[in-house]
Amino acid sequence: MHEWALAESVVNTVVKYKEEKNLLKVNKVLVKIGKLQQIELDIFNSALDDISKMKNIEGKFVVEEEDVFFKCRVCGSEWDFKKGIKELNEDESEYVHFIPDLIRVYSKCPKCGSPDFEVLKGRGVWIEYIEGEGL
């Protein structure tokens, strides 16, 4: 389950930030996840809770998803994740879950059929901000 590995990376980053900024306490962490990652949010949130307790991070982790949008490099058409993913079978969806860039192999522009497109937003996992109390 890569949700646990992602959660561990997030918490480790928060621990490092806390140390670098000499924070006494972390109050809140906003984590953004692009829907292209297809993260199981229940598992990810549970992992954040468990790992943050083990690392003595008491703050609240808030997780928000970001919708996915693509843009065709050929015709300029833009579309959302639902149009881009609806044709994937279960195996293909699983491949994209673990390696999101594989969406380029299994999807194409719904307007012109080109496989040459970019992900405008909705990919990745990142920390939007960390709130804490300093010395």
User: Do 63 and 31 form a contact (C-beta atoms < 8 A)?
Assistant: yes
List, in order, residues 6 or more apart from 91 with CB less than 8 Å away: none
Which residue segment(s) compose the domain that 40 sits in?
Answer: 2-134
Domain of residue 47, CATH code? 3.30.2320.80
Give me the percent of the chain exceeding a pLDDT of 90. Answer: 64
**Nearest of 126, 131, 128 to residue 6 by alpha carbon:** 126
Alpha carbon of 20 to those of 2, 15, 133: distances in Å? 27, 9, 13
User: Do 122 and 71 form a contact (C-beta atoms < 8 A)?
Assistant: no
Q: How many domains does the chain have?
A: 1
Whole-prediction pTM: 0.82
Q: 26-83, pLDDT tens digit by residue?
A: 999 999 999 888 899 999 999 999 999 999 998 999 999 999 999 999 999 999 877 6
